[in-house]
Structure 1
C-alpha cells in the first residue's frame, strides 16, 4: 500500500495537510488536528528548513514513483508520521473502496445481471437500494478496522518486497500460495460465521439477500466483512509477496466478490467456486463456503453442486 499512499499524498494529501496543519503560523487557525502535531514556536523559514531536513522522500518502488511537490514539506504533520499515514490510509480504503464497489458492481448490474431476477418473490422490495445502503454504512467501519494492517505494512513490518530476492525460490510462488492459503482460511472463517451463536449477530445481514444483485457483494455487517478479509491482510506478514502483486490481488478480490454475486452461471467448472456455487450458498444458507475454489468445501464435506438447470438457463441466455 505504500505505492498507493505515495500517489495519494502527491496528488491529494500533501495539499490537504499543508492547508489544515501548515508550518506558517501567521496563516493558521486552530483545528482538532493540532492535537496530533502542536504548532512550534519558530519562524516560517526555520520551520520549513527543519521540515525539509527531517523528511526525506524515498520512492515506494524502483519501478514506479511520483516525486512530491513542495507541498510535501509544508505541513507540521510530515508524510512519515504514523498518525498522518493512518488517516490517509483510512480515507484511501474508504473512498477508493466505494469507487471500486460502484464501478465494478455498477457495470455488472448494467451489462451482466439478469434483471428478471428482480421479479422473483424472494427478491426483496427495493433490494438494490437496501444493498447499497448497507454497503455505504459498512465500508467506513471496515476501512477503520483494516487500517492497522495497512499501517503496519507501510511502516515496514510485513514481508512485502519490491525486487525479487534471488536467494529464495519460494518467492516465485507468491501468487499461487496467496490464493490457496487465503482461500483455506476464508473457508474456515466463513464456516465459523455460520455457527448459530455467531450467525445471528454477524452473518445474517448478508443472507438477507437470498437472490443477491452485484450490489450485495459488499453488503455485510462490517465485522463480518472485515473478518473474511483478515487472511488477505495477514498473509504478507507471514510470507513474502511482491508489492505490485499485493495491490493486483487486492483489486482482483474486490472484483471477484462482485462476480460471485452477479447471478450469471457460466463457470460450470468442478474447481471454480463461481456465481452458481455462491448462489446455492445464498439459497440454502449452508455449503459452498470457499472463496475461489471448491477444494476446501470438497475436503470438508460442505460442497453443494449447483443443479444443471442453472447452467442450462445461463447458456440459453447467452445463445439468445
Structure 2
C-alpha cells in the first residue's frame, strides 16, 4: 500500500492538501491519508464494478422474484454507502502497519530473493489461505450469538444483486477481510501482487452476487460461484465458502446449487411468469 500512498503524496496530497510542515513520513498523516484513499477507493471499486455487473451481467428478471424486496437496489446501495467509511478506517490502520514496515511485503522480482515462481506460489497460497479462514469466519458469523447482531443484515437480500456485495454490516465486512490482511504479515508477498489480489477479491465479492450462474461443467463441483452463493442467501446454512467448495465439503455444509438442478431463482421467476400468462 506504500506504493499507492507514495503516488497520492506525490501528485495530490503534498501539492494540494497538506501544509509543508506536515511531513509525509509522519504516521498521523499517513493514517489520515490511508483512511481517505481507502474510503475513496472503496466507493470507486464498488460503484464501478457493481454498476458494470448490474447492467451487463446481472439477469434483471430476478428482480421479479417474489423474495426480491421493494426498492431493493436502492436499499443495497444506501447500506453499502454507509458501510464503506466504517470499514475503511480499521482497514487503513492495517495498511499503516504495512506502510511502516511491519509486514513481509516486498518489492521487485528478478532483483529480489523471490522470483517469478514464488509469485505463482504466493498467488496460490494466498487464495487457499484466505479461502480457508473466510469459510470459518463466515460460518462463525452464522452462530446464534453473532448472526442477529452482525451478519443478518446481509441476508436481508435473499435474491441479491451485485450492489449487495458491499451491503453488509461494517464489522462483518472487516472480519471477512481479515484473512487478506493477515497473510502478508505471516508470509512474504510481492507488493504489486498484493494490490492485484486485493482488487481481485473485491471483484470476486461482486461476482458471487451477480446472478450469473454459468460455470464450466468441469469446475461446477469446485468453484464457489454465484449459483452457490445465491443458495447461501436462500437457505442460510450452506455454501459458506469464498472461492472454492473445498471447505464446505470438509465442513459438511456443501449444497449443490439449485440453479444447476432447474430449481433456482431464475426457474422460479420463469414459472411465475408462465403461470401469469396462463
TM-score (norm 2): 0.89
Structure 2 residue 90 is the aligned partner of structure 1 residue 145 = yes
Structure 2 residue 113 is the aligned partner of structure 1 residue 166 = yes
Q: CA deviation at 1:85?
A: 0.6
1:197 corresponds in structure 2 to: 145
Structure 2 residue 221 is the aligned partner of structure 1 residue 270 = yes
Q: 1:313 to 1:130 in 2, by over 3 A?
A: closer
CA distance in 2, matches of 1:214, 1:237: 31
TM-score (norm 1): 0.78
Structure 2 residue 165 is the aligned partner of structure 1 residue 214 = no
CA distance in 2, matches of 1:97, 1:14: 22
Any conservation in 2 of the 1:171–1:240 contact (CA below 8 Å)?
A: no
The secondary structure found in structure 2 opposite 1:286 is coil
CA distance in 1, matches of 2:252, 2:120: 32
1:112 corresponds in structure 2 to: 57
1:256 to 174, 195, 204: 204
Q: CA deviation at 1:7?
A: 1.4
CA distance in 1, matches of 2:213, 2:245: 15
Q: How does 1:302-313 map to 2 (within 5 A)?
A: 302-307=253-258, 308-309=261-262
1:16 corresponds in structure 2 to: 16
Q: Count the aligned residue pairs.
A: 260
Q: For structure 1, list consecutive stretches of 5 or more residues without a partner in the other structure.
A: 23-74
Larger radius of gyration: 1
Any conservation in 1 of the 2:159–2:265 contact (CA below 8 Å)?
A: no
Q: CA deviation at 1:173?
A: 1.0
CA distance in 1, matches of 2:182, 2:235: 30
CA distance in 1, matches of 2:265, 2:170: 36
2:243 to 284, 287, 292: 292
CA distance in 2, matches of 1:191, 1:107: 30
1:51 corresponds in structure 2 to: none
CA-to-aligned-CA distance 1:62-104 (integer Å, 9 cap, x gap): xxxxxxxxxxxxx111111101110110011101110010000
Q: For structure 2, list consecutive stretches of 5 or more residues without a partner in the other structure.
A: 271-278
CA distance in 2, matches of 1:123, 1:300: 30
CA-to-aligned-CA distance 1:195-230 (integer Å, 9 cap, x gap): 011000000000000000000001011000000000
Q: 1:158 to 1:313 in 2, by over 3 A?
A: same
Any conservation in 2 of the 1:113–1:213 contact (CA below 8 Å)?
A: yes
Any conservation in 1 of the 2:151–2:168 contact (CA below 8 Å)?
A: yes
Q: CA deviation at 1:17?
A: 3.3
Q: CA deviation at 1:166?
A: 3.4
